[in-house]
Amino acid sequence: MSTSEGGTVDDRFMRLALALGRRNLGRTWPNPSVGAVVVAGAKGQERIVGQGVTAPGGRPHAEPLALEMAGDAARGATLYVTLEPCSHYGATPPCVDAIIAAGITRVVTAIDDPDPRVAGRGHARIAEAGLAVASGILADEAARDHRGHITRVTQGRPSLHLKLARTKDGFAAGAPDERLRITGPIADGAVHLWRAHADAILVGIGTARADDPSLTVRLPGLWQRSPLRIVLDSNLRLSPASHLVRSARDIPTLVVTTRSAPIHAKRMLGSFGVETIQVDACPHGRIDLSSALSQLAERGLTRLCCEGGPHLAEALAASDLVDVCTLITGPRAIGAGGLPAVGEALNGRLRGAGFSVTEARAFGSDLSVTYERSV
Ligand code: AOF
Ligand code: ZN
C-alpha cells in the first residue's frame, strides 16, 4: 500500500523510526542511536502507541522504551526498529526477550546488527518465537545513520565526516597569519548541528594553533550537546593559553600524541584537565592515523567529525579513512597565495569509485556539497 509521503506503510513508519534514532546521534556511544516505533491497529487504521530512541550513554536500548510507552497496546502490534534487536546479555537484557514478552506479533527492521554478539541471531530468535519478521526496509538510509557503529564493529575505527571550507577559488586559508572567514552564518549553523551529532570533533595541531577554535556547539537549545574535542598533536605543541585548554574542565578534551612528546607538556595539559593518549608514530614522527582511530574506537567512539585542516584532511584521505566529506564553498575569491583546500589524495577519493554526491545545497551565499562512501 502506498502513502502520500511515498513508499509503503512500512516505509512510512520506518522513516519515523529513523528520524527518532537520529535525535540521539552523538550521545549514545559506544552504542548506536536506534529508533523504535510500536504501531497498533488494523490495516488503514494504524496508530502509534509507543516510540523510543536509545538513551544517552547507550542504555536503555530503544525497544524497551518504546514497549514501555505502549504498555498493553503492544499486544498484537508491529514494532519498527532501525537496527536488528539485540539477542545478547550485555549491559542490558536482550531486546528480543522484551519484544516477545510484550506480545508484539510482527517486527520490521532496517538492517542487521553487525555486532558479532547479535549478527542475525536477533532476527532468528524473533522468527523462532513465531513472530513475523520483515528486514531490509529503508536499509540504505539506516546504514548511513548507523555508519559509525558499522565501521567500529567491522573495521575497528569510528566513521569519519570531513568538513572543509574553501574560497571560491579553492583555498582553505589565506597567507600565513591572515584570519579568513570563508563561510557565512547559515553554513556555520549547519556545522554546529553536525558537531552536535558527532561523538567527537577532531582537528590537527596546525588548525588548533592557527585558528584557536573552541569547537563547541553554540546553537540555541543545543549548547549542552558539545561533544568530546580531540587534537592530534604529535609533539604536544597545544598552548596552555588556547581556548581548547582553558575550557577543558567544562568540555572534555583529549590530545592524541606520540612517545616523543615532552613529559612536561603532558603534565601541563593534565593540570588543565586535558587527557593525553599515546599512539604509534609514522617513520617521520607524525601520528599514525590508523593507529589513532583504532584507539579512539577502542574507547567507544563511533562518529568523528573532522574540521581540519587541509593537511590532516589530505592525510586521512591518503589512508582511506574518510567516509563522508562536506565541502563548503564561500562566495569570495582571494586570488593566488593561499593554502589549497583539497589536495590530490582527497580529490582522487571523492572522484573515484565508492563515493557519490548525496547532498548539494545552498547555505545563504555558500554552496555545500556532501560526498559519501557507500556503507
Ligand atoms: C538494540 N537496541 O537501542 C541499541 C542496540 O552493551 P549493551 O547491552 O548496551 O549492548 C550494546 C550492543 O547492542 C551494541 O554494540 C549494538 O550491537 C546493540 N545496540 N541494540 O537492540 C538499541 N542501541
Ligand atoms: Zn537491545
63 is catalytic: yes
Side-chain half-sphere exposure of 63, counting CA atoms within 13 A: 27
User: pLDDT tens for residues 194-237?
Assistant: 999 999 999 999 999 988 999 999 888 887 889 999 999 999 99
User: Of residues 5, 63, 298, 344, which has the active-site annotation?
Assistant: 63
Closest residue to atom 4 of ligand 1, CA basis: 61
- C-beta separation of 349 from 322 below 8 A: yes
Tell me whether strands 324-329 and 159-166 are parallel, antiparallel or unpaired.
parallel
> Pick from 130, 107, 124, 100: which is nearest to 13 by CA?
107
Q: Nearest 5°: phi and psi at 373?
A: -80, 140
Is the model's pLDDT at 170 over the cut of 80? yes
The label of the residue with cell 506480545 reads 103
Rounded to two decimals, the pTM is 0.93
What's residue 177's pLDDT?
59
ipTM: 0.94
State the closest ligand 1 atom to the C-alpha of 114, by its place in the atom list counted from 1.
17
Is the model's pLDDT at 111 over the cut of 90? yes
What's residue 304's pLDDT?
98
User: pLDDT tens for residues 175-194?
Assistant: 655 667 888 889 988 999 99
118 C-beta closer than 6 A to ligand 1: yes
- Cell numbers given for 162: 570531513
User: pLDDT tens for residues 246-255?
Assistant: 999 999 999 9
CA of 62 to the centre of ligand 2 (A): 7
Span 136-142, mean pLDDT? 97
What's residue 176's pLDDT?
59
145 C-beta closer than 6 A to ligand 1: no
Of the ranges 229-238, 248-257, 296-305, 343-352, which one carries the lowest mean pLDDT score? 343-352
Pairwise CA distance, residues 203 & 231, whole Å? 5
Higher pLDDT, 68 or 223: 68
Using alpha carbons only, give the angle 246, 192, 62 rounded to the nearest 5 degrees: 105
- Cβ burial of 274 (10 Å; 0-12, 13-18, 19+) is buried
CA of 92 to the centre of ligand 1 (A): 8
